[in-house]
Amino acid sequence: MKLVEKKHDKFFKEFDVNIEHFKTCAQKFVLQFIMKLNDQPLFQNWPLWNMKAMTLQFFVVLNAFIYRLEDNCKLNLRNEDPMDYPFDEQQRDIIWNIMLVATTWSFGAVLDKELRRTFEEQSGPFKNLFNITFATPIRKFTLFDIFYDVERLTWALISEKLDYKIKVHFNSDLN
């Protein structure tokens, strides 16, 4: 986490980001969860389960989210109403949410359907650490169906976001 802190130092200082949120999430969730998975023979025997590669991927995804978050914090500085982009008020949840997505996308991406179910089951005891809420009620979802949208500071279904982007792309192609 020291490299993340160093890489994003300017952003963290400018927006008074509490690095302790990253450290606490890493200790209470990421490390415990990944070690729990890694201790299971199902994961150990999976040919794509490579801790070094997935850990590197975790930091690539996390850094991408932090850069995107920084961009959105800067864009929303001019808002007259700070509740339009309540970064300060939701900072802990935002950081924990992006850490959850980075964990899911890096360590879960290499898994097949059966192992993703096990991944999901093993994440159960940790879910109360996160604020996963949606603006509208949705059907049952897995961690692989959702992502944290740092532009809106909300959870969203991946399929809905993709459907929207596809519609926008095709509609703009028709014009």
Q: What is the pLDDT of residue 175?
A: 46
> What is the number of other CB atoms lying within 10 angstroms of the CB of residue 67?
14
Q: What is the pLDDT of residue 171?
A: 53
The whole-model pTM stands at: 0.87
pLDDT in tens, 108-134: 999 999 999 999 999 999 999 998 887
Q: What is the pLDDT of residue 163?
A: 54
Q: What is the pLDDT of residue 138?
A: 72
Assess contact for 105 and 61: CB atoms under 8 A: yes
**Domains of the chain (ranges plus CATH)?**
2-174 (1.10.472.130)
Question: Helix, strand, coil % (nearest 5) of the chain?
Answer: 70, 5, 25
Residue ranges in the chain whose pLDDT is less than 50: 169, 174-175
Phi and psi dihedrals of 157, rounded to 5? -80, 135
How high does pLDDT run on average in the chain? 89
